Structure 1
Amino acid sequence: MSTTKKDSNNMTENINNTEEQYNDLSNGSEHLEAPNEVKDSREEDRRLYDLTSISECLNVAMNEYNLERNKKQSFDNRAGIIITVFAAIIISIYDKIPITEIIADMYRPLTFALLLQIITGCLIYISLISSFAFAVRIIVVKSSENFDIRIINNELIYAAKIDSVSKFLEIYLNLVYMHRKNNESVARLLALSQWTMIISIILILIYLTIW
């Protein structure tokens, strides 16, 4: 009787031990599934990233962004040179082509030669002032937006690579578009400033040669 009872207790203990071992294995397999899922997700992300040309596109967009920024700096430097030339010309012609003399000629009896002299003198100062105004507008043009570093947060850091690089590509493409649009406007202003400066120099030479 006691032997039977003892055997029954041993069987119960064995069953309990088996259940505990099974539960431990189940819990262990659940813990292993999460890392495996993350690993599979990362591998899929890496596979998609390698199959696309998104990395090359991002490099192109970043290079274009840097080029457009350098263009704006170059425009500013050339505008500064034009302003310096303007100041030098004004100082050199102030005594030779005085504005007061041009205004006084307007009240004298007009002849064809005097009319040409007045028109030429006025055009010299108009073209010089226009060139200066265009150059100043180039310098005071508002700079385009730069890359906002605040978008780099924890969500972006831990995002899939294909998603984060796609976001960077979109941002850089928008920046390139804005910078290029502004630079096209600045390029037109620079061309106007240069041409009006050239016209003023030609008119100065004509004025000093004839009169």
Structure 2
Amino acid sequence: MSGEDDNEELASSELGTIEYWDKTYSTEIQNFEDHGDIGEVWFGEDSALRVVRWLCDNPAVKRDDRILDVGCGNGMLLIELAREKFCDLTGIDYSQNAIELANAVARKQNIDIKYYVCDMLANYDELIEGGTLLKEYDIVLDKGTYDAVSLHPVDAKKKREKYIENIHRILSQTGMFVITSCNWTQDELISHFKAKFELLDIIPTPTFQFGGKTGSLITSLVLRKC
């Protein structure tokens, strides 16, 4: 958990570097090939399923909505959505190894999902250049990617601002952004995104009590473009 000061940045970490994730997913590719192990599900399977349930239960969400998972990793969040009959699914990750793993997992389960190597910190025009990504998505998902951006050892604040700008631009006018974080609190996320987004809903996550106060290790919010 970070501090309460909106201007406070997280301490940098190797989790904010592509080198860390390339190495991690290289190992997970080998484990998948050798043992069929899909690798770590970021924040655990329950965290992903809470997002899936929210999307399934929301009458404003349609099964043919254009859904983009940013920082998709092994792709399991999108696979869970495909099992629920969502049909227009795209995953991106800046790690080539992550995309190779996601494609391998999807092929083994005979599920059709589009995966691309793509860095959400690139200029917007580069993101959609050549048709890699659509100009607009109805729903964008983030489970830990904003956290990783926040941990970058160089100009993390500027990278966070660029990320927020690109998420805003790639969403349709009525689009929703579903973000799950273990590094930022609910109030901090709302503060970071408030210039371009408003809070639509809070996806309940497990809470704990300590010293008479209630807290949560994970925050999961649904934001809507202002």
Highest CA radius of gyration, 1 or 2?
Answer: 1
TM-score, with length taken from structure 1: 0.21
Greater relative CO, 1 or 2 (CA 8 Å, sep 6+): 1
Q: Which has more helix, going by share of residues?
A: 1
Q: Which has more strand, going by share of residues?
A: 2
